[in-house]
Amino acid sequence: MKVAVTGATGFVGSRLVEQLHIEGHDVVVLTRNVNQAQQRFPSQVFTRVTVVAYTPMAAGEWQGAISGCDGVVNLAGEPIAEHRWTPEHKQLLLDSRILTTQHLVEAINQANPKPSVLVNASAIGFYGTSETASFDETSPAGGIF
Ligand SMILES: NC(=O)c1ccc[n+]([C@@H]2O[C@H](COP(=O)([O-])OP(=O)(O)OC[C@H]3O[C@@H](n4cnc5c(N)ncnc54)[C@H](OP(=O)(O)O)[C@@H]3O)[C@@H](O)[C@H]2O)c1
Protein backbone atom coordinates (compact mmCIF):
# COMPACT_ATOMS: atom_id res chain seq x y z
CA MET A 1 0.00 0.00 0.00
CA LYS A 2 0.95 3.64 -0.35
CA VAL A 3 -0.01 5.85 2.59
CA ALA A 4 0.28 9.64 2.95
CA VAL A 5 0.90 10.81 6.53
CA THR A 6 0.68 14.36 7.91
CA GLY A 7 2.11 15.12 11.34
CA ALA A 8 4.50 12.27 10.51
CA THR A 9 7.39 13.86 12.40
CA GLY A 10 5.42 13.93 15.66
CA PHE A 11 5.04 11.56 18.59
CA VAL A 12 2.47 9.26 17.00
CA GLY A 13 3.42 9.84 13.35
CA SER A 14 7.10 8.90 13.74
CA ARG A 15 6.21 5.48 15.11
CA LEU A 16 3.50 5.01 12.49
CA VAL A 17 5.89 5.77 9.62
CA GLU A 18 8.49 3.40 11.08
CA GLN A 19 5.91 0.63 11.37
CA LEU A 20 4.48 1.18 7.88
CA HIS A 21 8.02 1.10 6.50
CA ILE A 22 8.87 -2.11 8.37
CA GLU A 23 5.71 -3.71 6.95
CA GLY A 24 6.84 -2.86 3.41
CA HIS A 25 4.48 0.00 2.61
CA ASP A 26 5.36 3.14 0.66
CA VAL A 27 4.89 6.30 2.74
CA VAL A 28 4.48 9.91 1.60
CA VAL A 29 5.43 12.19 4.49
CA LEU A 30 3.75 15.58 4.15
CA THR A 31 5.60 18.06 6.33
CA ARG A 32 6.06 21.79 6.92
CA ASN A 33 9.78 21.22 7.48
CA VAL A 34 11.45 19.03 4.86
CA ASN A 35 14.94 19.18 6.44
CA GLN A 36 13.66 18.04 9.80
CA ALA A 37 11.64 15.22 8.22
CA GLN A 38 14.61 14.07 6.13
CA GLN A 39 16.71 13.93 9.30
CA ARG A 40 13.98 11.96 11.05
CA PHE A 41 13.57 9.56 8.12
CA PRO A 42 16.97 9.37 6.36
CA SER A 43 16.59 8.10 2.81
CA GLN A 44 19.39 5.52 3.24
CA VAL A 45 17.28 3.80 5.91
CA PHE A 46 13.73 4.76 4.92
CA THR A 47 14.01 3.77 1.28
CA ARG A 48 10.24 3.68 0.75
CA VAL A 49 9.56 7.05 2.39
CA THR A 50 9.15 10.17 0.23
CA VAL A 51 9.22 13.55 1.97
CA VAL A 52 7.01 16.25 0.45
CA ALA A 53 6.74 19.90 1.59
CA TYR A 54 3.22 21.12 2.27
CA THR A 55 1.30 24.10 3.59
CA PRO A 56 -1.38 22.43 5.72
CA MET A 57 -3.44 25.54 6.23
CA ALA A 58 -3.45 26.51 2.54
CA ALA A 59 -4.33 24.69 -0.67
CA GLY A 60 -1.43 24.15 -3.07
CA GLU A 61 0.42 21.89 -5.45
CA TRP A 62 1.22 19.59 -2.53
CA GLN A 63 -2.35 18.30 -2.76
CA GLY A 64 -1.30 16.41 -5.91
CA ALA A 65 0.82 14.12 -3.72
CA ILE A 66 -2.39 12.47 -2.49
CA SER A 67 -3.14 11.05 -5.97
CA GLY A 68 -2.26 7.38 -6.12
CA CYS A 69 -2.18 6.90 -2.35
CA ASP A 70 -4.34 4.09 -0.94
CA GLY A 71 -4.84 5.83 2.39
CA VAL A 72 -4.24 9.10 4.22
CA VAL A 73 -3.47 9.47 7.93
CA ASN A 74 -3.83 12.99 9.31
CA LEU A 75 -1.98 13.56 12.58
CA ALA A 76 -1.17 17.25 12.07
CA GLY A 77 -2.00 19.75 14.75
CA GLU A 78 -0.42 22.50 16.81
CA PRO A 79 0.69 20.92 20.14
CA ILE A 80 -1.89 21.59 22.85
CA ALA A 81 0.46 21.82 25.84
CA GLU A 82 3.25 24.15 24.69
CA HIS A 83 1.65 27.58 25.06
CA ARG A 84 -0.90 29.42 27.16
CA TRP A 85 -4.34 29.16 25.57
CA THR A 86 -4.83 32.79 24.55
CA PRO A 87 -7.69 33.44 22.12
CA GLU A 88 -5.10 33.59 19.28
CA HIS A 89 -3.51 30.31 20.30
CA LYS A 90 -6.87 28.60 20.61
CA GLN A 91 -7.62 29.70 17.06
CA LEU A 92 -4.30 28.16 15.94
CA LEU A 93 -5.16 24.90 17.74
CA LEU A 94 -8.42 24.79 15.80
CA ASP A 95 -7.11 26.01 12.42
CA SER A 96 -4.14 23.64 12.39
CA ARG A 97 -6.56 20.74 12.68
CA ILE A 98 -9.72 21.88 10.88
CA LEU A 99 -8.14 23.68 7.90
CA THR A 100 -5.59 20.90 7.42
CA THR A 101 -8.37 18.33 7.39
CA GLN A 102 -10.39 20.42 4.92
CA HIS A 103 -7.44 20.70 2.54
CA LEU A 104 -6.74 16.99 2.78
CA VAL A 105 -10.36 16.16 2.05
CA GLU A 106 -10.23 18.56 -0.91
CA ALA A 107 -7.06 16.79 -2.12
CA ILE A 108 -8.71 13.37 -1.73
CA ASN A 109 -11.71 14.54 -3.76
CA GLN A 110 -9.40 15.82 -6.53
CA ALA A 111 -7.11 12.78 -6.49
CA ASN A 112 -7.02 10.29 -9.37
CA PRO A 113 -6.90 7.54 -8.30
CA LYS A 114 -8.41 8.41 -4.93
CA PRO A 115 -7.35 6.97 -1.58
CA SER A 116 -10.06 4.76 -0.15
CA VAL A 117 -9.57 5.70 3.51
CA LEU A 118 -8.80 8.77 5.63
CA VAL A 119 -7.81 8.20 9.25
CA ASN A 120 -8.01 11.49 11.09
CA ALA A 121 -6.72 12.06 14.62
CA SER A 122 -7.39 15.20 16.57
CA ALA A 123 -7.57 16.50 20.13
CA ILE A 124 -9.86 14.20 22.08
CA GLY A 125 -10.81 17.01 24.49
CA PHE A 126 -13.53 17.73 21.93
CA TYR A 127 -15.71 15.16 23.70
CA GLY A 128 -15.25 16.53 27.21
CA THR A 129 -14.03 14.40 30.09
CA SER A 130 -15.50 11.71 32.33
CA GLU A 131 -14.17 9.18 34.83
CA THR A 132 -16.81 6.62 33.83
CA ALA A 133 -18.13 7.26 30.31
CA SER A 134 -16.54 6.08 27.06
CA PHE A 135 -16.51 8.32 23.98
CA ASP A 136 -16.39 7.50 20.30
CA GLU A 137 -16.94 9.33 17.01
CA THR A 138 -20.71 9.30 17.54
CA SER A 139 -20.47 11.09 20.91
CA PRO A 140 -21.63 14.71 21.07
CA ALA A 141 -19.21 17.57 21.67
CA GLY A 142 -18.40 18.20 25.32
CA GLY A 143 -18.89 21.56 26.94
CA ILE A 144 -15.17 22.46 27.05
CA PHE A 145 -12.74 23.86 24.46
N1 LIG B 1 -0.14 11.97 21.68
C2 LIG B 1 -1.28 11.75 22.30
O3 LIG B 1 -1.34 11.14 23.38
C4 LIG B 1 -2.59 12.23 21.70
C5 LIG B 1 -3.79 11.97 22.37
C6 LIG B 1 -4.98 12.40 21.79
C7 LIG B 1 -4.97 13.09 20.60
N8 LIG B 1 -3.79 13.34 19.97
C9 LIG B 1 -3.84 14.09 18.72
O10 LIG B 1 -3.24 13.30 17.69
C11 LIG B 1 -2.52 14.15 16.79
C12 LIG B 1 -1.05 13.70 16.76
O13 LIG B 1 -0.53 13.69 18.09
P14 LIG B 1 1.04 13.74 18.40
O15 LIG B 1 1.17 13.55 19.87
O16 LIG B 1 1.78 12.82 17.48
O17 LIG B 1 1.37 15.26 18.04
P18 LIG B 1 2.79 15.99 17.94
O19 LIG B 1 3.91 15.13 18.45
O20 LIG B 1 2.64 17.34 18.53
O21 LIG B 1 3.02 16.11 16.35
C22 LIG B 1 2.10 16.81 15.56
C23 LIG B 1 2.70 17.09 14.20
O24 LIG B 1 1.82 18.04 13.57
C25 LIG B 1 2.57 18.99 12.85
N26 LIG B 1 2.25 20.33 13.37
C27 LIG B 1 2.67 20.94 14.52
N28 LIG B 1 2.18 22.19 14.62
C29 LIG B 1 1.41 22.36 13.51
C30 LIG B 1 0.66 23.47 13.02
N31 LIG B 1 0.58 24.64 13.68
N32 LIG B 1 0.01 23.31 11.85
C33 LIG B 1 0.06 22.13 11.16
N34 LIG B 1 0.79 21.07 11.56
C35 LIG B 1 1.45 21.19 12.72
C36 LIG B 1 4.05 18.66 13.03
O37 LIG B 1 4.50 18.01 11.83
P38 LIG B 1 5.43 18.76 10.71
O39 LIG B 1 6.28 19.75 11.44
O40 LIG B 1 6.19 17.63 10.11
O41 LIG B 1 4.48 19.40 9.75
C42 LIG B 1 4.09 17.72 14.21
O43 LIG B 1 5.09 16.75 14.10
C44 LIG B 1 -2.69 15.59 17.33
O45 LIG B 1 -3.79 16.21 16.69
C46 LIG B 1 -3.02 15.36 18.81
O47 LIG B 1 -3.77 16.43 19.35
C48 LIG B 1 -2.60 12.93 20.49
Give the number of the atom of ligand 1 that is nearest the alpha carbon of residue 54. 41
* CB of 120 shorter than 6 A to ligand 1: no
Q: Which domains does the chain have, with CATH numbers?
A: 2-127 (3.40.50.720)
Whether the CB-CB separation of 28 and 50 falls below 8 Å is answered with yes
Selection from 141, 125, 55 nearest residue 85 by Cα: 125
* CB of 96 shorter than 6 A to ligand 1: yes
Residue 145 has pLDDT above 90, yes or no: no
Residue 34 has pLDDT above 90, yes or no: yes
CA of 38 to the centre of ligand 1 (A): 17
Q: How far apart are CA 8 and CA 28, in angstroms?
A: 9
Q: What are phi and psi of 76, to 5 degrees?
A: -75, 145
Q: What is the model's pLDDT at position 4? A: 98
Dump pLDDT digits (tens) for 54-108: 999 999 999 999 999 999 999 999 999 999 999 999 999 999 999 999 999 999 9
CA of 117 to the centre of ligand 1 (A): 20
Average pLDDT over the chain, rounded to an integer: 96
**Alpha carbon of 83 to those of 7, 20, 92: distances in Å?**
19, 32, 11
